[in-house]
Structure 1
Amino acid sequence: MLDTTMPATRAATDADHADHADDPSLVRAAVAGDTGAYERIYRRHSPRVYAVLWRLCGGHAARAEDALQETFLQAWRALPGFRFDSSLGTWLHRLGVNAALMELRGSATREASEAGDDGWELLAAVPSVDRCAGTTLDLERALETLPPRARAVLVLHDIEGWKHHEIAEQLQMAVGSSKAQLHRARGLLRARLGEPA
């Protein structure tokens, strides 16, 4: 079972890439029915996938774990069609983000109907983040306070490196809205961290 108490870091080292050199052979073995090979794929890639899911889900471990389980169930079903056009890690990562965004779309629809427009009014009720001057934990806590769509845009753009057109397509919004959400999210994040605008 994956230890989800602390999300993995995003950066992959050269050693990580070298460790993943046998991914194609693991994929072929898993497709042929070798569950041990699939378990190795899971153990190798789930920490990084979980880290982005955890951030997209606002630090809610149970929601991130559900999205992770859905990701690897989808991957198991789709693995026979994997064409190696990208790395296995990139493909799994994209499946994970899509699973989290499906949840986000559902929660955004509920929040929009309850709070109107973008749900920015909810921020007034969010308590300020306890800070110890710039720690990673402070950033993670501040991310949790952002509205889900704003958090998703910020995580996907600034942490995961997605382009606005990709974000807009996945979140079903205009590119301009993605840019506006990013601008607002950054401002809210700076305010939560006590930084000047």
Structure 2
Amino acid sequence: MLSIAMPTPASDPEIETAPDDEALVRAAIAGDVQAYASIYRRHAPRLYAVVWRICGRHAARAEDVLQDTFLKAWRSLPGFRFESALGTWLQRLAVNTALMELRARSGRDDLDAGDDGLDALAAVEGEQRCTGTGLDLERAVATLPPRARAVLVLHDIEGWKHHEIAEELGMAVGSSKAQLHRARGLLRERLGETA
């Protein structure tokens, strides 16, 4: 049997010496740019994954949103009160920034638009139907109308509760549930499943 020695968190010197988020925040507030760079390196990959999905798998948009998120975080960091985890605070900021980008790009009324946006995006990608692999599921999620996609990503992928989504998106809890139902139905349709 092949045995590979994997470093454990306790034996990894880089992890042992890495400051926690609170220490990094305090140092960044005091003007330590390297501490802020550490915050970025620690949290950017996870935040990028969230905004990439909300932005419909558009890498350039997701990168812009991520950059805007960290610029806002830099400006707002002195007001961070340590009432939640830094990662949670940054994720909320990233989600808000992604949603504002969607609103600015397509207008608030378009966020509730029907399948016109779905068909246009599917045509751009050259796909009208997905086959069910993990990559195809990501593509199918990207074709959802923006508001339905945001609710699906936040609920099913990020684990948010409907009341949190409703508050974040400025909608009723029932609307969040309806958008999730709609998104799941469209995904089943796109993936060729029967309800």
Q: TM-score, normalised by structure 1?
A: 0.81
- Residue number among 48, 57, 82 corresponding to 2:80 in the alignment: 82
Paired residue type of 1:112: D
Give per-residue Cα distances to partners, 1:110-144, cap 9 Å, x unaligned.
6639xxx632344455342342xx42211110011
Does the CA contact (< 8 Å) of 2:130 and 2:137 recur in 1? no
Does the CA contact (< 8 Å) of 1:108 and 1:148 recur in 2? no
Give the distance between the partners of 1:77 and 1:59, measured in 2 at CA.
Answer: 27
Give per-residue Cα distances to partners, 1:44-92, cap 9 Å, x unaligned.
1000000000000000111111110111011111111212111111111
Extract unaligned runs of 5+ from structure 1.
Answer: 1-13
State whether structure 2 residue 184 is matched by structure 1 residue 189: no
Residue 98 and residue 123 in structure 1: after superposition, are their counterparts in 2 closer, same or farther (change >3 A)?
closer
Q: Find the counterpart in structure 2 of residue 119 from structure 1.
A: 114
Structure 1 residue 108, shift from structure 2 partner: 4.6
Give the distance between the partners of 1:170 and 1:54, measured in 2 at CA.
Answer: 18
Structure 1 residue 154, shift from structure 2 partner: 0.6
Paired residue type of 1:118: A
Give the distance between the partners of 2:64 and 2:119, measured in 1 at CA.
Answer: 29
Q: Find the counterpart in structure 2 of residue 163 from structure 1.
A: 161
Aligned-pair identity in percent equals 71
Question: What secondary structure, in the 3-state scheme, does the structure 2 residue paired with 1:187 have?
Answer: helix
1:65-80 alignment, distance < 5 Å? 65-80=63-78
Which has the higher Rg, Structure 1 or Structure 2? 2
Does the CA contact (< 8 Å) of 1:31 and 1:79 recur in 2? yes
Residue 124 and residue 75 in structure 1: after superposition, are their counterparts in 2 closer, same or farther (change >3 A)?
closer
Q: How many residues align?
A: 177
Question: What secondary structure, in the 3-state scheme, does the structure 2 residue paired with 1:78 have?
Answer: helix
Q: TM-score, normalised by structure 2?
A: 0.81
Give the distance between the partners of 1:123 and 1:63, measured in 2 at CA.
Answer: 18
Q: Find the counterpart in structure 1 of residue 177 from structure 2.
A: 179
Give the distance between the partners of 1:189 and 1:40, measured in 2 at CA.
Answer: 37
